[in-house]
Amino acid sequence: MSGTLERPFDFVIGGAETPGARGERAPVKNPASNAELAQVAVGHADDARHAMEVAQTAFESSWWASDDGGRRAKALVKLAGLLESRLEEFARLETLNMGKTLKESRGDMAFVVRTIEYVAGLADKVQGETISVPGARLDYTLREPLGVTVHIAPWNYPLLLAVRGVAPALAAGNAAVLKPASLTPLTAIAFGRLAKEAGIPDGILNVVVGSGSEVGEGLVSDVRCRSVTFTGSGEVGRRIAEIAARRTIPATLELGGKSPVVVFPDADLDRAARGIAFGIFGNAGQMCWAGSRLIVHASVHRALVERVAKIATATRLGPGTEAESEMGPLVSPDHLQKVAGYVESARSEGGKVVAGGSRVDEAPLAEGNFYRPTIVDDAPPAAKAVREEIFGPVLVVHPFETTDEAVRLANATDFGLFAALWTKELSTAHSVARRLEAGMVSVNEAPVTFPQTPFGGFKGSGLGFEQGADVVRAYTRRKNVVVNLSVPKPKT
Ligand code: NAP
Ligand code: MG
Give residue-wise pLDDT tens across range 404-454.
999 999 999 999 999 999 999 999 999 999 999 999 999 999 999 999 999
Residue 490 lies in a domain: no
- Residue bearing the CA closest to ligand 1, atom 18: 213
- Residue bearing the CA closest to ligand 1, atom 32: 233
| Whole-Å CA distances, 447 to 88, 159, 218, 275, 413 | 24, 19, 34, 8, 19
Say yes or no: 243 and 149 in one domain: yes
Say yes or no: 291 and 217 in one domain: no
CATH number (domain holding residue 358): 3.40.309.10
* Residue 101 dihedral angles phi and psi, to the nearest 5°: -70, 160
Tell me, letter by letter, the H, E, C secondary structure of 378-439.
CCCCCCHHHHCCCCCCEEEEEEECCHHHHHHHHHCCCEECEEEEECCCHHHHHHHHHHCCCC
Residue length, the chain?
A: 492
pLDDT at 272 > cutoff 60: yes
Residue 16 lies in a domain: yes
Q: In this structure, are residues 105 and 94 in contact, taking their beta carbons and an 8 Å threshold?
A: yes
CA of 452 to the centre of ligand 1 (A): 24
pLDDT at 154 > cutoff 80: yes
Say yes or no: 191 and 294 in one domain: no
Residue 3 lies in a domain: no
3 state SS of 374: strand
Q: In this structure, are residues 297 and 344 in contact, taking their beta carbons and an 8 Å threshold?
A: no
Ligand 1 pocket test, pick from 236, 458, 466 with the greatest ligand atom count within 8 Å of Cβ, gives 236
Q: What percent of the chain has pLDDT over 70?
A: 99
Query: What residues does 483 pair with on adjacent strands?
Result: 138
CA of 235 to the centre of ligand 2 (A): 9
Say yes or no: 250 and 265 in one domain: no
How does pLDDT run across 160-218, given as a tens digit for each residue? 999 999 999 999 999 999 999 999 999 999 999 999 999 999 999 999 999 999 999 99
The catalytic residue among 94, 117, 217, 254 is 254
- Residue bearing the CA closest to ligand 1, atom 11: 212
pLDDT band at 5 (very low <50, low <70, confident <90, very high): confident
**What is the arithmetic mean of pLDDT over 372-388?**
95
Residue 452 lies in a domain: no
Q: What percent of the chain has pLDDT over 90?
A: 97
What DSSP state is assigned to residue 46? H
Q: In this structure, are residues 389 and 257 in contact, taking their beta carbons and an 8 Å threshold?
A: yes
**What is the arithmetic mean of pLDDT over 338-346?**
97
- Residue bearing the CA closest to ligand 1, atom 38: 288
**What is the arithmetic mean of pLDDT over 81-87?**
98
Average pLDDT, the chain: 97
CA of 158 to the centre of ligand 2 (A): 13
Helix (H) and strand (E) counts in the chain: 14, 22
Q: What is the pLDDT of residue 1?
A: 43
**What is the arithmetic mean of pLDDT over 366-385?**
95
CATH number (domain holding residue 110): 3.40.605.10
Q: pTM for this structure?
A: 0.97
Residue 183 lies in a domain: yes
Say yes or no: 29 and 137 in one domain: yes
Say yes or no: 342 and 249 in one domain: no
Which H or E run contains 96? helix 87-98
- Residue bearing the CA closest to ligand 1, atom 9: 181
What DSSP state is assigned to residue 212? I
Q: What is the pLDDT of residue 351?
A: 96
Q: In this structure, are residues 399 and 329 in contact, taking their beta carbons and an 8 Å threshold?
A: no
Q: Which atom of ligand 1 lies nearest, measured to the CA of 209?
A: 47
Say yes or no: 136 and 173 in one domain: yes
| Whole-Å CA distances, 482 to 53, 83, 473, 489 | 33, 44, 21, 21
Q: What is the pLDDT of residue 40?
A: 98
Reference 449, options 479, 417, 427; nearest CA is: 417
Residue 435 lies in a domain: yes
CA of 129 to the centre of ligand 1 (A): 37
How far is residue 289's CA from residue 374's CA, in Å, rounded to a whole number? 17
Q: What is the pLDDT of residue 47?
A: 98
**What is the arithmetic mean of pLDDT over 79-103?**
98
The total of structural domains in the chain comes to 2
Q: What is the pLDDT of residue 491?
A: 84
pLDDT at 31 > cutoff 90: yes
Residue 409 lies in a domain: yes
Say yes or no: 351 and 436 in one domain: yes
Say yes or no: 164 and 216 in one domain: yes
Given phi > 0 = left and psi -120 to 50 = alpha, else beta, which region is 126? Answer: beta
Q: In this structure, are residues 82 and 109 in contact, taking their beta carbons and an 8 Å threshold?
A: no
225 is catalytic: no
How far is residue 419's CA from residue 458's CA, in Å, rounded to a whole number? 11
pLDDT band at 492 (very low <50, low <70, confident <90, very high): confident
3 state SS of 338: helix
Task: Ligand 1: list residues with CB < 6 Å.
Answer: 152-156, 161, 179, 181-182, 211-213, 216-217, 231-233, 236, 239-240, 254-257, 288, 389, 391, 417, 457, 462
Say yes or no: 194 and 297 in one domain: no
pLDDT band at 3 (very low <50, low <70, confident <90, very high): low
pLDDT at 392 > cutoff 80: yes
Domain of 379?
A: 260-443
254 is catalytic: yes
Say yes or no: 248 and 266 in one domain: no
How far is residue 384's CA from residue 376's CA, in Å, rounded to a whole number? 12
Q: In this structure, are residues 217 and 243 in contact, taking their beta carbons and an 8 Å threshold?
A: yes
How does pLDDT run across 48-59, given as a tens digit for each residue? 999 999 999 999
Say yes or no: 391 and 294 in one domain: yes
* Other Cβ atoms closer than 10 A to 219: 32
CA of 231 to the centre of ligand 1 (A): 6
pLDDT at 2 > cutoff 70: no
Residue 453 lies in a domain: no
